[in-house]
Homo-oligomer: A and B are copies of this chain.
Amino acid sequence: MLKFNEEQQRSSIQDALALRPRIEEVVDEISRKGFRNLYFLGIGGTWASSMQAKTHMKERSSLWVNDLLSSEYNTTGDRCVGEGSVIIFSSVTGTTVEVVESVRRAKEAGATIFGFVDTAGTPLAELCDYWIQYPANEQLKFLIVADRFLYDNGEFDDYDRCYAEMDAHLADALIETEKLADDFGREFAEKHHDDPMHYFIGCGIQYGHTYSYAMCFWEEQHWRRSKSIHAGEFFHGTLEIIDRDTPVTLFLGEDSQRPLAERVKRFLPQVCANYTCIDTKDYPLTGISPEFRGSICHIVLRTVTTRIDAHMERINCHPLQIRRYYRQWDY
């Protein structure tokens, strides 16, 4: 299978799950000390992950939690961020300029900084009050953080059972998903690799990936035009430009917002003959109980779209790591 190393994938996920005792230590300490509000902060793809974590918590929690777009915070500010605030973020390079500025600003305002920074000795690693270093798996790291805050706030009684299942089965469930999705990914890439525009629709805990899949994958990595639209917003404008041939992909998850995507699913066949549904319900996720599937359906979705990317890259002869403009000069 193209760009797939099963053992590497298994240990990547398993070792991310193994961060849990350290994450629990940090979150428990923050919860014990008390806090006023929580922000998942990011820009681009990391903002997308932040939106997911926020939505996941909103579904369950009375805590004051939000996402924070780094560039907005650096300019408009947010006077609710200060003493008693907790900023949670993730960064691969540890140097993204907007995020460095945001974290510095929030820290000066008195916030507690909890960061996943993959590269030691970087500005972002050094700004953290709590720092965890481990590559990739950003969505999973944020999920564990969010779930532990819920647990500490008495809003997730099944935490232990849930993570016992994750520890035992998540890696294999995602590997199983990736294998099952490979034929689909190849067929999808063969059909859509040259689309002049592609629409991605999604919502809920999957909206972050919908947004980032269109922007950080198709636009940034494939250099293909695409637009994301929230399933709850689709009927308030974008529907009007869908016709028989418009390439549309609808993501369906298993969280509270699924009915919004289902409504789009009912509508699309009436006006479009070129749409695809990616529904995480179609994947068995062996070993994961039904009640926990909603919390991980964004990770499952990402696993499925990974197979599209692998085949698109090959068909389009366009290596995903190249950038036309990004970080190519000082703009």
The interface size bin for chain A is 35 or more
1/0 per residue, CB under 8 A from B, across A174-187: the answer is 00000000000000
Given A55-B76, A77-B58, A331-B263, A44 contacting B271 (CB threshold 8 A): no
- Closest Cβ of chain B to A93, distance in Å, is 13
The stretch that binds B, out of A139-147, A274-282, A301-309, A321-329, is: A321-329
Q: What residues of B have a CB within 8 angstroms of the CB of A157 in the complex?
A: none
- Contact status B215-A236, CB under 8 Å: yes
- Contact status B219-A241, CB under 8 Å: yes
Given A71-B260, A227-B227, A260-B71, A45 contacting B236 (CB threshold 8 A): yes
The residue from B45, B75, B238, B263 contacting A257, defined by CB atoms under 8 A apart: B75
A47 interface hit (Cβ, 8 Å): yes
Q: What residues of B have a CB within 8 angstroms of the CB of A216 in the complex?
A: 236-237
- Contact status B80-A59, CB under 8 Å: no
Query: What separation, in Å, do the CA atoms of A153 and B44 have in the docked complex?
Result: 34
1/0 per residue, CB under 8 A from B, across A288-322: the answer is 00000000000000000000000000000000000
Query: What separation, in Å, do the CA atoms of A331 and B271 have in the docked complex?
Result: 11
193-223 of chain A: CB within 8 A of chain B? 196-197, 203-204, 212, 215-216, 219-220, 223
A214 (CB) vs chain B CBs: closest residue: B237
A242 (CB) vs chain B CBs: closest residue: B325
The stretch that binds B, out of A7-15, A20-28, A60-68, A124-132, is: A60-68
The residue from B69, B239, B260 contacting A232, defined by CB atoms under 8 A apart: B69
Q: What are 11 A-B interface contacts by the 8 Å CB criterion? A: A55-B76, A59-B77, A62-B79, A64-B80, A71-B260, A75-B256, A75-B257, A76-B204, A77-B256, A263-B331, A266-B331
Seed contacts A58-B77, A240-B326; 8 additional CB < 8 Å A-B pairs: A43-B236, A44-B237, A47-B233, A69-B232, A75-B260, A197-B197, A215-B236, A240-B325
A: residues with CB less than 8 A from B are 43-45, 47, 55, 58-59, 61-62, 64, 66, 69-72, 75-80, 98, 196-197, 203-204, 212, 215-216, 219-220, 223-225, 227, 229-233, 235-242, 255-260, 263, 266-267, 270-271, 323-326, 331
